[in-house]
A and B are shown apart, each in its own frame.
Chain A
Amino acid sequence: MTDLATSTSAPVGTPAAPQRARSGRGRRVAVGLLAVVLLAVLWELVKLVVPDTGGHVLGASVLPRTDDVAMPHVWTIGQRMLEPETSAVGSPTVLSAMLQACWFTFRVALAGWVLGSVGGFLVALLMQRWTVAESALLPWVVLSQTVPLIALAPLVVGWGGRIHIGSFEWQRWMSVALIASYLAFFPVAVGALRGLQSPPAAQVELFRALAAGWSRTLLGLRLPASVPYLLPALRLGAATAVVGAIVAEVSTGTKGGIGRMIISYAQSASGDPAKPWGAIVGAAVLGLVAAGLVSLLGLGLGRYRHAEVS
């Protein structure tokens, strides 16, 4: 009797599922855009309510100053982005310079993300395969993230500078990508390990009973089971790769990217307060775009995502 009840309702659920997913995706995009608008409104609201000199309680400053130098109007920032970068003849607009810098950083971050994801996944495989490797490596994986990037950057640049293999020469951007990969590596390694270890004992024993070796079990069971863990980890890895690339650009002094742009624009903050915000907006959008692009990876993997964790 119970079977009949589900059998009649089940076919109805099948075609409805993708439709629901699509409208859910549409709603998520709408909510995301709304959040951006809300942020702009909040920004203007703070400017309106908090006095120009900032909020003070008993003489101690608790809220930042809100004058036009510290917090330019949203529309001023927007307008500034459409104006030329400098007064020099033929200077590009802030927006186009920013987009160009973003494109540079994006490519470097992408290289770092790929490198970090592959590395993180391989480390997770190693840890899944041998328990000894897990107990030996996992503390180091966690420890690796406590080393400040700024301390690491000069080391990587120094080591890279000594690499000359044939006609290959270490480029500055490679140091940046390597540092970005160092950040992306962590969430992927941890997420992939959790995912690979996620199949319940019943399924693992089934594969054993079917005389499937480690690699067969990996491809047939552990890998598909890790998808709901891996996708959020890769998304997080993309965002951290962007942050890593920006910080690494600054600390290695690499030219051409958005990180360097933030620093150089900040120097003109007192005279041209809206200009540095253009670069900051660019960096934020870049992180969102990177994470969004990784989400696209999950589109074709619907059937593996029945229990996604984030």
Chain B
Amino acid sequence: MSTDAGTTTHSMAAPGAAAAVVARGIGKTFSSRSGEVTALDGIDLTVAAGEFVSLIGPSGCGKSTLLRLIGDLDQPSTGELRVFGKSAQAAREAQDYGIAFQQAGLLPWRDVAGNVELPLELHGVGKKERAARAAELLTLVGLEEFAGHFPHQLSGGMQQRVAIARALAERPSLLLMDEPFGALDEMTRERMQTELVRICAESGAAVVFVTHSIPEAVFLSERVVVMSPRPGRITAVVPVRIAGERTEGLREDSSFFAAVTAVREALHGSGAIPTGTARGVDLR
């Protein structure tokens, strides 16, 4: 599972067609009434196909902004962004990625199966095929019995699983996730993390995962990208070297604790952020 972080992150060579995301010198400024705010500055990042990368950092470090840029929900002010060798817009139009955000964003008038089928329906997939795929995905996220339920009848964790199933509907090779478990309680959250690891292993999709929980980032990712705020920059990239499968047992493992410590030190140790101001990072 361990990847050679040194070469994937810092090689400036032309990206192979395999790279899911290549960002070069990405900057993003927002103009507000009080002047320009630099949200991101000089971001260089490469995410290989099938790789799980977490973005971590205190509130306001631009990690969500970076995710939105990759998803073409916003445009960068400077720099170049390629998703599977295409522009972000082309990748969005080609449906190369699926998104799952903190709010599940399910349509309340559609039942669970209808919500999962939504992307397929929008892209003209036939009814039979849609139903089959939805059933398959609901089994994957363990909600096959709830296909006919409406979102308001589900708990937050179940809604989030429906949103993840929806994100996977078109077998995207990239998943963009912005704190998808942020609103969940700790127990549900850990179970969802385990499920996500399994789902990603099965689907082989690359994932860019925004979080501000260190253990979550470590448990899920092959690399943890540590960011600092004002302006948002990448301060460190911590490779997580874990041998074997990522299961519940990993949370008790010494390699897990070592990686958590490494990320924590990267967060606090970097010169850009004095320890006291790293708000928004929870150490759960």
Contact = CB atoms under 8 A, between A and B. Distances in A.
B93 A208 contact: no
B118 interface: yes
Interface string A286-308: 00000000000000000110110
Interface in B189-220: none
Interface string B268-284: 00000000000000000
A270 interface: no
B101 A202 contact: yes
Contacts of A212: 122
A135 interface: no
Contacts, number: 79
Interface residues of B, number: 36
**Closest 5 interchain pairs by CB?**
A202-B105, A202-B103, A10-B153, A6-B155, A304-B109
A139 to B, nearest CB: 24
B2 interface: no
Contacts of A6: 153-155, 158
B71 interface: yes
A200 B103 contact: yes
B108 interface: yes
B17 interface: no
26 contacts: A2-B187, A3-B158, A6-B153, A6-B154, A6-B155, A10-B149, A14-B149, A200-B103, A200-B105, A203-B105, A203-B107, A205-B73, A205-B99, A206-B99, A207-B122, A208-B92, A209-B72, A209-B73, A209-B92, A211-B92, A211-B123, A212-B122, A216-B122, A306-B109, A306-B152, A307-B108
A221 interface: yes
Contact of A210 (B104, B119, B146, B155): B119
Interface string A2-27: 11011100110110000000000000
B257 interface: no
A13 B153 contact: yes
* A: interface residue count bin: 20 to 34
A58 interface: no
A60 to B, nearest CB: 56
B188 A3 contact: yes
A224 interface: yes
B155 A3 contact: yes
B281 to A, nearest CB: 24
A232 B119 CA distance: 31
B145 interface: yes
**Residue of A202, A209, A307 ringed by the most chain B CB atoms within 10 A:** A209
Contacts of B121: 220
A10 B92 contact: no
Contacts of A207: 122
B95 interface: yes
Contacts of B123: 210-211
B217 to A, nearest CB: 23
Nearest to A305: B109
Contacts of B107: 203, 221, 224
Interface of A: 1-3, 5-7, 10-11, 13-14, 200, 202-203, 205-212, 216, 220-221, 224-225, 227, 303-304, 306-307
A2 B185 contact: yes
Contacts of A7: 145-146, 158
Contacts of B118: 210, 220
Contacts of B149: 10-11, 14
Nearest to B94: A211
Contacts of B156: 2
Contacts of B185: 2
A227 B108 CA distance: 12
Contacts of B145: 7
Given A210-B122, A221-B107, A10 B154 contact: yes
Nearest to A5: B155
Given A7-B145, A202-B103, A203-B107, A211 B93 contact: yes
**Residue of B105, B118, B157 ringed by the most chain A CB atoms within 10 A:** B105
Nearest to A302: B109
Contact of A220 (B93, B104, B122, B157): B122
Contacts of B72: 209
B239 to A, nearest CB: 29
**Residue of A2, A200, A207 ringed by the most chain B CB atoms within 10 A:** A2
A211 B73 CA distance: 11
